[in-house]
Chains A and B, each alone.
Chain A
Amino acid sequence: MEPVIVFENVHYTYPGDELESLCGVDLQIEKSSFVAVLGHNGSGKSTLAKHMNAILVPDEGRVTVCGVDTADEERILDVRRRVGMVFQNPDNQIVANVVEDDVAFAPENLGVEPAQIRRRVDEALKTVGMYELRMHAPHLLSGGQKQRVAIAGVIAMEPEIIVLDEPTAMLDPQGRAEVVSTVTRLCREKGMTVVLITHHMDECIGADRLIIMSNGHVAADGSPEAVFADLSLMEREGLTVPETARLLHDLRAAGMELPDERLDIDGCADEIAAQFLASES
């Protein structure tokens, strides 16, 4: 798979800070993959996200997006057009008074032709399931709906990558589920590359790859199954693991033979049930 975002030895320190927020990160994000990034507060996961569309540029090292160096100010629109960002607070990223006008904001900024904008806006709203509410005022929507509008606003830009910086932190469980299923669909059905920054481990279960950030380093990087299986690492990082991973781990410790690591509830239940039913027969 070809990498769409490449970090090469990236160092970054916020102005006025003594400690580095990113200390030598090397990373490649593959096209059309769903990458989740977990980490405790201050682990550098947000700083990492902000480097992906040139909100921040490295003090040292290099970040390239589809081959374009993010530090190249001439080409900053090229980078931002390719990497859509969704932020934590849904209220602070919606600019217009009407849902569809907000979704049109990015293509308007890019000078897209009006008829084309209309088509993109309608399509984006249908993709996130907000087409029916296109004439609504954003402040009357639920948190989950606002975040879906924000996602639509980003996909109307037709980016290759969508980076979500803790998009679910301020949402209720229903809103969280709406957002996660929307981005999962974007990746699986539209082939979009998705980078989801979060501190809810349950949201990482469906990802292709899970990266754990810690003090500006990549502390772990692998499939969610493999990363969550390392319980001691997770504990060291102040993170919890999904109940499924914990249960499989403890059952194994108690001498049960469970061949596969399954993180989704149904898969995990299948594994366990199969063991019990096998011993019965």
Chain B
Amino acid sequence: MLEIQCVSKSFDKTAALSEVSFSVAKEEIVAILGPSGCGKSTLLNIIAGLMTAEDGTVCFDGKPITDIPPHQRNFGLMFQDYALFPHRDVFGNVAFGLQQQSLPLTTIQQKVTTILKKVGLTNYSHRDVNTLSGGEQQRVALARALAPQPRLLMLDEPLGSLDRPLREHLLSELSQILRALHQTAIYVTHDQEEAFTIADRIIIMRSGKIKQVGTPNEIYTHPASEYVARFLGMTNIISATPERQNGEIGVQLPAAGWHPLTNFHKQPSGGHAPVSVLLRPTGAIISPQGNLLGKVTGVSFRGSSIRLQLQPKQSPPLIFELPTPDELPQVGTQIRLKLPPDAVTWLPKGNA
């Protein structure tokens, strides 16, 4: 439906986007995830037509839309600061897009009422938008963007300026609304939890480049690079030497010996030079037969699980989430962990 090909854009000679390509299918929700300043908002502005790309094409339904001005694209864009019109009340804001289509007043009223009901703001029509709470403003902004039934809705950090509990509540609500309307959407955020919750597919960006595209599960289990892994908060990254045993590719882990690689189909090249691998923090158990030996340097109790900090020899400290054992391991003691077969993922170096 939406096709972005090789889009580049720079500001004052620093590249904001370089050769970005991806597509969004009908009724799909794609999250663009990246730290602030990675070019996410620039990308949205280009898709919306508020900025022009220096290079590359943006196509919608197979037709290039570069020359179509923003008001003829029928895309919706929701801003982080909502950008509610301060001189119009809730009704005036939500109706704005419909008024631009010169619809009869009764139709507009009917549509506004419907959409306000959908976002949970029945009876808010005549409220002054400047007096609404953050969450209410967010709903008005959503209603305003949805009212003209955009072919594509873009949300730029829509929950960014709200506090944590409200954010979680609104996130699931937002997800439900978008799904119920079968809305094609691009959701931009720097918060991985939001991206993983709402998206069918996630695009990870850094400094204007796409680092990885995949479903939440693909990205979580196989981060494409050390950068992606670290960005997603995965810290068990160690350097290990690849080695073939019994025809299978694996790595020699410090203090744990040989372990197979899950993504062996992408064979690490370069023979025996050390590579970065990621140890999944979940799935291991404490067992005397375990192959990973290390000193316990910290334990914190989390109910059904514990968070264990382990210091194996010649390795950076590792963190594991284990099912709570009958007896908590003592700090300072040596223990053995049995890693599941799929615990180790190879992280390609890439250019990150």
| Binding between chains A and B | no
Q: Which residues of B contact A (CB under 8 A)?
A: none
